[in-house]
């Protein structure tokens, strides 16, 4: 049995109870050994040590299970090399995207790993902001394909949404938070993976307001959507309904932090070229010439293509187009995609990993048909796509129409066959034939 309180001695710090009677807050817990005890000061210190050690263990376990632990950040050159396998041309846009994506995920890895010991102390404390991207380019130039390829390469969840369906909260249409729900579903309902994903918002130009001045009426599908996008793009904890649809007070929400989600926005921005011309001093409406005494750059004359004009785009041009300045400020990385010419479209048909020619060759190879295209046929297809003005997206519809009869009859052919597509077949001057191999 322990002796009286006055005879207790702390087994850790050695303080004696009979010498600490002046401290009313100090008490002793007797131990199983006679004359020894533990004072309340040592108990508190031991508790703090246990809490700190346990917290470190939990942090290490959480870090090991974090999706950032297995995420590898490729260099910008490696990212561009992968993009080159799937997307033809657009070198400047690929460089801009490669640098932006590398910096974004390098920033996340640095935050995950903690303070970098190799950096000077004043730089190690600097917090890095994320850089969302805005892609300007005509339809069929590869904006969506670039975003899809990036997400597959990095093995992070991705979602592609359309801004035209979004409306301000409380009106018919989809709430802006629903774009986060699609990313959550694409991640397999994994909240941590969702918060490091990529969201591509297409048709951003369709939510532009009608004029530069604020409207006196409520613009629920234009400026209202832009206002709702502001905090999500910058970074906030959004309340997202797990099943989608409208919010109601008694509903449980997913709390998704958008601070580490990379947003890539894109749009065709039809008419933006006229805004750029007007800013550069070129008359786009009316009679006469207002360029007297002004230097006109050769690449910005009346015959300049849209890609070169988009490359000259400034934030003030986007404001004139109908985007609010606050939204433009949250999309600091701006790059333009060039329209694909005939030569580039021929390469699109032939070179990418998932090129249309390769897809149809594999499709007909399953029916024992050896499909071949002549160079003239590919050039004729590209010329027709240029005439339609739909870019690479128009090649698919042209190929479907061209190959309809072949795909209709090929399954009924017995034995190996050969099919040659020539320029005359593309122009409709000759019929496609399935010959015995």
pLDDT in tens, 304-314: 467 788 888 99
Q: What is the pLDDT of residue 249?
A: 67
Tokens of 367: 């029916």
Alpha-carbon distance 249 to 242, whole Å? 14
Q: What average pLDDT is seen over the chain?
A: 81
- Helix, coil or strand: residue 386: helix
Q: Which residue has the higher pLDDT, 299 or 184?
A: 184
Tell me: pLDDT of 301 over 50. Answer: no
145 alpha-carbon distance from chain centroid: 11
- List pLDDT tens digits, range 322-352: 899 999 999 999 999 988 889 999 999 999 9
| Architecture (CATH level 2) of domain 68-336 | 3-Layer(aba) Sandwich (3.40)
* Crossing angle between the packed helical segments 91-113 and 76-86, to the nearest 10 degrees: 130
The 10s digit of each residue's pLDDT in 167-184 is: 876 677 788 888 999 999
pLDDT of residue 435: 80
pLDDT for the residue numbered 381: 94
Q: What are the strands, taking DSSP E only, across 105-157?
A: 133-136
Lowest-confidence region among 19-28, 79-88, 170-179: 19-28
Model pLDDT, residue 56: 59
pLDDT of residue 2: 40
Residue closest to 161 by CA, chosen among 144, 149, 146: 144
Distance of CA 381 to the CA centre of its chain: 32
pLDDT tens for 111-129 read: 776 655 577 777 777 777 8
| Length reported for the chain | 437
CATH 1.10.8.60 for the 342-436 domain, yes or no: yes
Look at residue 421 in the predicted model and tell me its pLDDT. 93
Residue-level pLDDT at 431: 86
Long-range CB contacts (within 8 A, 24+) of 97-104? 97/133, 97/146, 97/150, 97/264, 97/335, 100/131, 100/133, 100/262, 100/333, 101/150, 101/154, 101/262, 102/73, 102/74, 102/75, 102/76, 103/128, 103/131, 104/130, 104/131, 104/262
pLDDT > 80? residue 296: no
Q: What is the 3-state secondary structure (H, E, C) of 230-298?
A: HHHHHCCEEEECCCCCCCCCCCCCEEEECCCCEEEEEECCCCHHHHHHHHCCCCCCCCCCCCCCCCCCH
CA angle, 255 then 259 then 260, to 5°:
105
Contacts 24+ apart (CB under 8 A), 94-102: 94/146, 96/133, 96/333, 96/335, 97/133, 97/146, 97/150, 97/264, 97/335, 100/131, 100/133, 100/262, 100/333, 101/150, 101/154, 101/262, 102/73, 102/74, 102/75, 102/76
pLDDT at 60: 52
Mean pLDDT on 231-260: 83
Determine contact, residues 10/42, Cβ cutoff 8 Å.
yes
pLDDT band for position 361 (50/70/90)? very high
Sequence-ordered list of residues with C-beta below 8 angstroms from that of 319, at least 6 positions apart, any chain = 212, 325, 328
In whole angstroms, give the CA distance from residue 335 to residue 269.
13
Euclidean distance between CA atoms 420 and 347, whole angstroms: 19
Confidence of residue 246 (pLDDT cuts 50, 70, 90): low
Q: Can you tell me the mean pLDDT for 232-240? A: 89
- Domain spans of the chain, in order of start: 5-65, 68-336, 342-436
> Among 106-115, 211-220, 277-286, whose mean pLDDT is lowest?
211-220
Residues forming beta bridges with residue 418, ordered by sequence position: 370, 435
Mean pLDDT of 402-430: 89
Instruction: Report the alpha-carbon angle 393-399-403, nearest 5.
Output: 160
User: Over 80: is that where the pLDDT of 16 sits?
Assistant: no
pLDDT at 147: 85
Answer with the residue of higher pLDDT: 394 or 67. Answer: 394
Check pLDDT > 90 for residue 80.
yes
Q: How many CA atoms lie within 13 A of 396 on its CB side?
A: 7
Domains 68-336 and 342-436 fall in the same CATH topology: no
């Amino acid at each position: 049995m322990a002796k009286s309180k006055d005879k207790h001695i702390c087994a850790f710090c050695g303080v004696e109870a009979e010498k600490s009677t002046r401290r009313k807050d100090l008490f002793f817990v007797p131990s199983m050994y006679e004359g020894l005890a533990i004072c309340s000061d040592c108990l508190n210190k031991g508790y703090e040590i246990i809490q700190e050690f346990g917290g470190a263990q939990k942090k290490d376990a959480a870090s090991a299970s974090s999706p950032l632990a297995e995420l590898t950040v490729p260099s910008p050159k490696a990212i561009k090399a992968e993009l080159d396998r799937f997307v033809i041309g657009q070198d400047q846009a690929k460089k801009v995207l490669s640098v932006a994506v590398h910096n974004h995920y390098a920033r996340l890895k640095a935050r995950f790993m903690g303070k970098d010991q190799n950096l000077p102390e004043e730089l190690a404390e600097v917090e890095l902001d994320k850089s969302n991207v805005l892609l300007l380019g005509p339809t069929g130039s590869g904006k969506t394909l670039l975003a899809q390829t990036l997400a597959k390469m990095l093995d992070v969840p991705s979602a592609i949404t359309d801004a035209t369906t979004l409306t301000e909260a409380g009106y018919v249409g989809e709430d802006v938070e629903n774009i986060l729900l699609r990313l959550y579903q694409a991640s397999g309902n994994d909240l941590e993976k969702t918060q490091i994903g990529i969201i591509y918002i297409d048709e951003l130009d369709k939510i532009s307001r009608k004029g530069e001045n604020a409207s006196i009426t409520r613009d629920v599908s234009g400026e209202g959507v832009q206002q709702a996008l502001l905090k999500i793009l910058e970074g906030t904890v959004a309340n997202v309904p797990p099943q989608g649809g409208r919010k109601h007070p008694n509903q449980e929400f997913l709390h998704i932090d958008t601070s580490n989600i990379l947003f890539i926005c894109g749009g065709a921005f039809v008419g933006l070229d006229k805004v750029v011309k007007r800013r550069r001093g070129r008359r786009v409406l009316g009679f006469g010439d207002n360029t007297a005494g002004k230097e006109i750059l050769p690449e910005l004359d009346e015959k300049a293509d849209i890609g070169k004009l988009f490359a000259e785009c400034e934030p003030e041009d986007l404001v004139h187009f109908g985007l609010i300045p606050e939204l433009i400020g949250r999309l600091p990385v701006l790059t333009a995609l060039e329209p694909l010419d005939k030569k580039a479209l021929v390469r699109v048909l032939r070179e990418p990993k998932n090129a249309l020619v390769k897809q149809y060759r594999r499709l007909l190879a399953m029916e024992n048909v050896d499909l071949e295209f002549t160079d003239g046929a590919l050039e004729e297809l590209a010329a027709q796509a240029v005439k339609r003005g739909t870019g690479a997206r128009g090649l698919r519809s042209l190929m479907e129409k061209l190959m309809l009869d072949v795909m209709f009859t090929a399954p009924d052919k017995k034995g190996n066959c050969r099919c040659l597509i020539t320029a005359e077949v593309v122009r409709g001057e000759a019929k496609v034939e399935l010959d015995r191999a």
